[in-house]
Chains A and B, each alone.
Chain A
Amino acid sequence: MPNLDEVVRELRSDIIRSIAVAGSGHPGGSLSVIDILAILYAHHLRHDPQKPDWPDRDRVVLAKGHACPALYAVLAHHGYFPKEWLSTLRQLGSALQGHPDRKRLPGIEAATGSLGQGLSIGLGMALAAKMDHKDSRVWVIAGDGELQEGQVWEAAMAAPKFKLDNLTLIVDANNGQIDGPVAEVMPLEPLQKKFESFGWETTAIDGHDLAAIEAAMSSAKKVLDRPQAILAKTIKGKGVSFMENNIAWHGRAPNREETERALKDILNA
């Protein structure tokens, strides 16, 4: 998919530029999740950016709300709001809050960022679609670190009980959290077995292989009677050499020189 390669490169640049202008933000987790978001919005999400309140739309809940620069870049690319807004990230009065706010920005389905809550919210949306006999799907994108929150496992227990085959959880497993590698801070493995034992259809993929993401999302949509978990192995800071797998870039903005180097890296990737 060469055309999408180009789009993703541009989205990565948008992330870097918006965080650089803001002077703060979370580049690491935004760069790890952007391939997933790009494929989702381009090929799998039923949505209409001109009608963000369309009742039959699919829903996206970015549980790892701190990665919103990635979501904002994708939403702007699809025309939910003017691309110029990206340079207002985190400024006073901006619709682009430091964590997503559905009351301020079209295309945001839920305020997130208090980690561990997104899957429950998505579960409720999936239940509502079932009650209304709609075929809308709900896509929840969580970080791996946030799976340490107990509420995630309450939701993981409930979704199979309610047979929510319209609910897909994508885990952006970049193995990084603020205090260190996930495997050290509080290990999650064997993660796939955990979701399987809870009754989920699971698959593990390379979260930067666009064809693999494409295939996993296509398969998820065909599953009947149970929710699906796509465990996407990713690299924190993916696409910017000096940010990759460097936890220091979880939550800091690049300075001018670093921004230029980052944009060069992305172009040459």
Chain B
Amino acid sequence: MPKATREAFGETLVELAEKFPNLTALDADLSHSVMTAAFAAKYPQRHWQFGIAESNMIGAAAGLALSGKIPVCASFACFLAGRLETIRAAVMLNGANVKLVGTHAGLGIGEDGASQMGLEDIGALRSLPGLTILQPADAIETRQAVEWMLGHPGPVYLRLARQKVEEVHKPDYRFELSKPDVIWEPEPKHCQATIFASGGTVGPALAAAKGLLDKGFSIRAVNVATLAPFDADSIENFAKDSERLVTVEDHNVIGGLGSAISEAAAGLGLGIPVVALGVRSFGESGKAAELYERHGLSASHIMDACLRGVRS
């Protein structure tokens, strides 16, 4: 059953409420969109509604965290990242154990269009020292990422999407921080490309790998759920037996997954081409699938990127 990662987040918060008695949810008038409403209804004494005032919500979250609570601040990705200075000063400089949950990330929000699309959040937040950034690919991974996040004694940004996505993991999948997760292993191991995807683009990346297999190409697909701290060394083995690395993300092509992989490849001197697919403009209205097609994130675009310049 396809399910949005934000839905799995909302369910997991309720499930883990007893395990984490200090867990406290903060909202800025979007509890029914970010899916904290169920937690709020069941635990009203542990929920604070801040109204349309994200800066104060994030600042107050820092204060709650410094007094031992585990505050979870949820809003749209763009509205949280827009409070970069509050996150930097109140949360990060204090090392406050605040969990920022940015939902409706990327083009995937669809019809609401540009002003509601968080396409720059990872780029903005990835430069904050000590901030863990997670983007799970499906409901199974989201549940585990949420549990990991609540148990981690430091600030975390969890990036979630509005649209429903297919499961790419089996029920026995175990999330591990900073560990790339191979969801499609090529045969033979030497492949034309290794695709790195995250969040909403993991499904299209998997479809691309499968589609190219049918055409006789060997492609690997890797889900990157941890964008910070990014384990640069982990890509070395993938690079060894790939002709190119392809990154695809529902985020601006600058500052996110493509940048992290490129930085790693350059830093390690791997000398391998990195083809980065990402959004190069502000967003616009449309259905999520239409927007993925138009902005170059669909399976067909990923297949093209895997083969660009490859002699068949």
**Contact status A129-B67, CB under 8 Å:** yes
The answer to whether A114 has its CB under 8 Å from any CB of chain B is yes
**Contact status A151-B48, CB under 8 Å:** no
A128 to B53, CA, bound (A): 19
The answer to whether B123 has its CB under 8 Å from any CB of chain A is no
- Between B58, B68, B94, the greatest number of chain A beta carbons within 10 A of the residue's beta carbon is seen for B94
**Contact status A131-B46, CB under 8 Å:** yes
**Contact status B93-A155, CB under 8 Å:** no
- Between A101, A111, A113, A150, the greatest number of chain B beta carbons within 10 A of the residue's beta carbon is seen for A111
**Contact status B53-A125, CB under 8 Å:** no
The answer to whether A110 has its CB under 8 Å from any CB of chain B is yes
From 25 to 68 in chain A, residues with beta carbon under 8 angstroms from any chain B beta carbon are 55, 59, 61
Knowing A123-B63, A151-B55, the reply to whether A128 touches B90 (Cβ < 8 A) is no
A 248-260 binary contact with B (CB < 8 Å = 1; else 0): 0000000000000
Chain B residues positioned under 8 Å from A112 (CB to CB): 89
Chain B residues positioned under 8 Å from A125 (CB to CB): 63-64, 66-67
A 127-150 binary contact with B (CB < 8 Å = 1; else 0): 111011000001000000000001
Chain B residues positioned under 8 Å from A157 (CB to CB): 51, 53, 56
Chain B residues positioned under 8 Å from A129 (CB to CB): 67
**Contact status B67-A117, CB under 8 Å:** no
The answer to whether B262 has its CB under 8 Å from any CB of chain A is no
Chain A residues positioned under 8 Å from B53 (CB to CB): 154, 157-158
Chain B residues positioned under 8 Å from A131 (CB to CB): 24, 45-46, 69
Chain A residues positioned under 8 Å from B66 (CB to CB): 102, 109-110, 121, 124-125
The answer to whether A120 has its CB under 8 Å from any CB of chain B is yes
Choose among A61, A120, A138 the residue that contacts B56 (Cβ–Cβ < 8 A): A120
The answer to whether B184 has its CB under 8 Å from any CB of chain A is no
A128 to B97, CA, bound (A): 13
In this complex, what residue of A is CB-closest to B94?
A111
Chain B residues positioned under 8 Å from A132 (CB to CB): 67-68
In this complex, what residue of A is CB-closest to B62?
A121
Knowing A122-B63, A128-B69, the reply to whether A151 touches B56 (Cβ < 8 A) is yes
Interface size of B by CB at 8 A reads: 30
The answer to whether A85 has its CB under 8 Å from any CB of chain B is no
B 13-33 binary contact with A (CB < 8 Å = 1; else 0): 000000000001000000000
In this complex, what residue of A is CB-closest to B83?
A151
The answer to whether B135 has its CB under 8 Å from any CB of chain A is no
Q: How large is the interface on A (under 10, 10 to 19, 20 to 34, 35 or more residues)?
A: 20 to 34
**Contact status A124-B86, CB under 8 Å:** no
Q: How distant is A161 from chain B, measured CB to nearest CB, in Å?
A: 8
The answer to whether A103 has its CB under 8 Å from any CB of chain B is yes
Chain B residues positioned under 8 Å from A124 (CB to CB): 59-67, 71
- Between A110, A119, A122, A150, the greatest number of chain B beta carbons within 10 A of the residue's beta carbon is seen for A110
**Contact status B93-A123, CB under 8 Å:** no
The answer to whether B217 has its CB under 8 Å from any CB of chain A is no
**Contact status A154-B69, CB under 8 Å:** no
**Contact status A127-B48, CB under 8 Å:** yes
Chain A residues positioned under 8 Å from B46 (CB to CB): 131
Chain B residues positioned under 8 Å from A103 (CB to CB): 94-95
A49 to B285, CA, bound (A): 57
Chain A residues positioned under 8 Å from B59 (CB to CB): 117, 119-121, 123-124, 151, 155
Q: How distant is B48 from chain A, measured CB to nearest CB, in Å?
A: 7
Chain B residues positioned under 8 Å from A150 (CB to CB): 55
**Contact status A102-B56, CB under 8 Å:** no
A 85-121 binary contact with B (CB < 8 Å = 1; else 0): 0000000000000000111000001111110010111
- Between B51, B58, B60, B86, the greatest number of chain A beta carbons within 10 A of the residue's beta carbon is seen for B60
Q: How distant is B300 from chain A, measured CB to nearest CB, in Å?
A: 45
**Contact status A155-B60, CB under 8 Å:** yes
Chain A residues positioned under 8 Å from B71 (CB to CB): 124
The answer to whether A242 has its CB under 8 Å from any CB of chain B is no
A111 to B95, CA, bound (A): 9
**Contact status A120-B60, CB under 8 Å:** yes
A158 to B58, CA, bound (A): 13
A199 to B62, CA, bound (A): 24
A112 to B63, CA, bound (A): 12
The answer to whether B282 has its CB under 8 Å from any CB of chain A is no
Knowing A110-B94, A121-B63, A125-B64, the reply to whether A162 touches B48 (Cβ < 8 A) is yes
In this complex, what residue of B is CB-closest to A127?
B64
Chain A residues positioned under 8 Å from B95 (CB to CB): 103
Choose among A59, A117, A126 the residue that contacts B90 (Cβ–Cβ < 8 A): A117
Chain A residues positioned under 8 Å from B51 (CB to CB): 157-158
Q: How distant is A248 from chain B, measured CB to nearest CB, in Å?
A: 27
**Contact status B67-A102, CB under 8 Å:** no
Supplied contacts A102-B94, A128-B67, 20 more A-B pairs, CB within 8 Å: A103-B95, A110-B94, A114-B89, A119-B59, A120-B56, A120-B62, A120-B63, A121-B60, A123-B56, A123-B63, A124-B60, A124-B66, A124-B71, A125-B67, A132-B68, A151-B59, A154-B53, A155-B59, A158-B50, A158-B56
Q: Which 3 A-B pairs have the closest CB atoms?
A: A124-B63, A120-B59, A128-B67
11 pairs from A and B in contact (CB 8 Å cutoff): A103-B95, A110-B90, A120-B86, A121-B66, A124-B61, A124-B71, A127-B60, A127-B64, A138-B63, A154-B55, A158-B50
